[in-house]
Structure 1
């Protein structure tokens, strides 16, 4: 499940980020986005009943990278929240758990192998946290910008000595 989240109208934040180097600004925004998305991941992990570990990451499988090709660019930053196996590998069966399956039958024997009811965990976690995420993101980005500016100031002081 892919959800787009675009923040507009935050002119002060955009101007402050524009004053930073692109790599520095992307790092600050990445850290802020991870902190903002962490409650979604924690809620989804709880709703999955311990079946999945849910991670906030920028790493995708090759197939997911092809699907998310438009999310990439020099000034774009994309993070994803999704289920992973305990060892950190992707969980290719998570969509079956989330959306369920219709009755399934073995091709050769015709034996019923059952149906799986839907047990949504990602969507309810997203819906529960979506309202507060924009304010949290703004607050976290400002905090990261202030920390970054303070680090740059201290670095300049050390270089001047």
Structure 2
């Protein structure tokens, strides 16, 4: 699931970030987004999976998110992972459930009821996440300005 957000007043943020090198501004965005996505991560905790904030995707997910990854964009994803950090390819079966399933032999092997954990966490924390993102991005910009001033002074 991919969602795009429109943030009012983002022009000021963009102008402030344009003053930095691309790597610096991407780092600012990445750090702020990780902090902003923490409430979603905590709310989505599920006994079957760990929930991670990451930029790493499986090969299939990477091909589907191709437009999200450019030189000037920062993309982070919140989602289930296995305990070793690898992607959880069966997580969607828990989130959305399945219909009745049968083997090729005709044997009935059951159905999985939907147990949504990520969508409700996203919906419940979207406004909080945006507020945290706005605060954190300005805090990160201020820190970057202070670092640049210290570097210029020495």
Kept in 1, the 8 Å contact 2:41–2:51? The answer is: yes
Kept in 1, the 8 Å contact 2:39–2:129? The answer is: no
| 5+ long unaligned stretches in structure 1 | none
2:126 aligns with: 130
1:116 aligns with: 112
Report the Cα offset of residue 75 of structure 1.
1.1
1:90 aligns with: 87
> What TM-score, normalized by structure 2, do the two folds share?
0.95
1:68 matched to 2:65? The reply is yes
The number of residues matched between the two structures is: 154
Report the Cα offset of residue 10 of structure 1.
2.2
1:23-38 equivalent positions in 2, closer than 5 A: 23-38=23-38
| 5+ long unaligned stretches in structure 2 | none
> What TM-score, normalized by structure 1, do the two folds share?
0.91
Aligned with residue 105 of structure 1, among 102, 105, 112: 102
Output the CA distance in 2 between the equivalents of 1:79 and 1:154: 30
